[in-house]
Amino acid sequence: NAGVTQTPKFRVLKTGQSMTLLCAQDMNHEYMYWYRQDPGMGLRLIHYSVGEGTTAKGEVPDGYNVSRLKKQNFLLGLESAAPSQTSVYFCASSSGTGAFFGQGTRLTVV
């Protein structure tokens, strides 16, 4: 049972480039989340989804877009990467009583 799988695990982008982070869960969870983790700031919610075809903004949504076309997948897109988006990104899924996390994607924007 894989749980929550994030792809890729590491990526280096140049300023202005775009990319998509993929999150896949095999637990049939309704809720999925994207967070970023920065030193001293904990995890901040970027966007989340309460079901297939739905998305909502979290605490720090600017510069990111998401899509949930299939229940098991939640994509996070950066249209034009900026150095301020250098971070570790975590995806999580939940059935409603506690979230399961992926291993993270370390993104560096130079």
Q: Does 19 bind another protein (CB under 8 A)?
A: no
Tokens of 42: 């904990």
The strand pairing partners of 43, in sequence order, are 37
For another protein, which residue of 8, 20, 26, 41 counts as binding (CB under 8 A)?
Answer: 41
Q: Which of residues 4 and 107 has its CB atom nearest to another protein in the complex?
A: 4
CB of 100 to another protein, least distance (A): 7
Q: Does 89 bind another protein (CB under 8 A)?
A: no
Tell me the window of 12-20, 61-69, 70-78, 96-104 that interacts with another protein (CB under 8 A). Answer: 96-104
* Cα 47 to Cα 35: distance, rounded to the nearest angstrom: 7
Give the CA radius of gyration of the chain. Answer: 13
Contact 13, 20 (CB under 8 A): no
Tell me the window of 11-19, 67-75, 76-84, 89-97 that interacts with another protein (CB under 8 A). Answer: 89-97
Q: Which of residues 80 and 108 has its CB atom nearest to another protein in the complex?
A: 108
Would you call the peptide bond into 8 cis, given omega within 30 degrees of 0 as the criterion?
Answer: yes
Phi-psi region of 106 (alpha: psi -120 to 50; beta: other; left: phi over 0): beta
Q: Which residues bind another protein (CB under 8 A)?
A: 4, 31, 33, 35, 40-45, 48, 50, 56, 58-59, 90, 92, 94, 96-104
